[in-house]
A and B are shown apart, each in its own frame.
Chain A
Amino acid sequence: MAERILLKGNEALGEAAILAGCRFFAGYPITPQNEIPAYMARRMPRVGGVFIQAESELAAINMVYGAAGAGARAMTSSSSPGISLKQEGISYLAGAELPSVVVNIVRGGPGLGGIQPAQSDYFQATRGGGHGDYRTPVFAPNSVQEMVDLTMEAFEVADAYRNPVLVLGDGILGQMMEPVALPPAREAPLPPKPWATTGAKGPGRRIINSLYLDPVVLEQRNLWLAEKYARMRGLARAETVGMEDAEICLVAYGATSRIVKGAMQMARREGIRAGLIRPVTLWPYPTVSIREAAGRVEAFLVVELSLGQMVEDVRLAVDGKAPVHFYGRTGGMVPSPREVLEKLREVAAGMGKRRVVAAGAGA
């Protein structure tokens, strides 16, 4: 087990990118992700990489486009409003099939919003905030260790599928410090990129492009991408806790999932048999895990730092087989385990079962 060191989420993520062989980062200041560009500004020159503070998030994502198109492993990070500015660029990265990693340390919205943690960018991340039929894998870490592991995985997936990949963190994960075991730096050379524009003339020249004015060709292009997105379905995964005997299934991701796990354990002590499904990938969504649970549990309780976005994916997966309740705080407010427990009790009561509440517990 590698030696564990105490690292702040944002910085751990930056180091993970470098360990994954990322040698181009373009960023822009926005709270709560500022430590990522600052970290890259210190580290990239030391590993022979490139750090640029771009004039805007728009410029940053397009710099990533150029660098990725030239064959480098490239990344940009931002927070909610900045990620909105990058949506066109992400659509271009998908259209031109350029491997890249985009990190969103989500904050309260909409508009200028706030700087506290939130998960209200779920729709944007999983449905795509840009134009066209494109998809991007979305990884949702729930610890500083996963900020490292999932970011490194994001680079491998990006290259494997020649696609932009999103890492969806939040202000909690970005700002908190936790012990982390840093994996060894990637030794293997990057996957070959014969398509990259590294300078060539004549028939052997390469073109990075997403323009297809002929609709016949553009449709073929889309069908080719759709086939790739279908192959990505295999990436879907979720962590499950206490689902063996669960009668209520909690669904939560990211930092929220740890609050919900606390509430789950408190509920079990009160005799409420709750389990947790924690999606690690938000796209492709782990529908199979949810659907399988839908056959066994009596109700779902989805908890998010938003007014309810992932809950729709849960309802799609449950497909009417069980009621799907929702509890959320938004705008940067973060629920306590006790608040989630309260909601759990309501759901349990609502299931018509007499809950034997041990004397004095849960007062």
Chain B
Amino acid sequence: MPRVVFDPERCKGCGLCLAFCPTRAVGMDEGLNRMGYHPAVLLDEAACTSCAACAWVCPDLAVEVYVPVKAGERRAGVG
């Protein structure tokens, strides 16, 4: 499961997440969503650090961010 999940149907292709991602891990999909925008997509999963900058600057609540649960860490629920 990736650290960041973009909802292609809520995204309006504004590109803010792409611009503010500190590791350039985000790009825009070639295809179009139902609204006719190129939705954001996680290009480089390895570069992603779950910093959630993309989620913070997203005007459309199109981003969910996850962080790997380290071996001994069992806490569930939303950060």
Q: Does chain A touch chain B in the assembled complex, meaning CB atoms less than 8 Å apart? A: no
Residues in chain B within 8 A of chain A (CB atoms): none
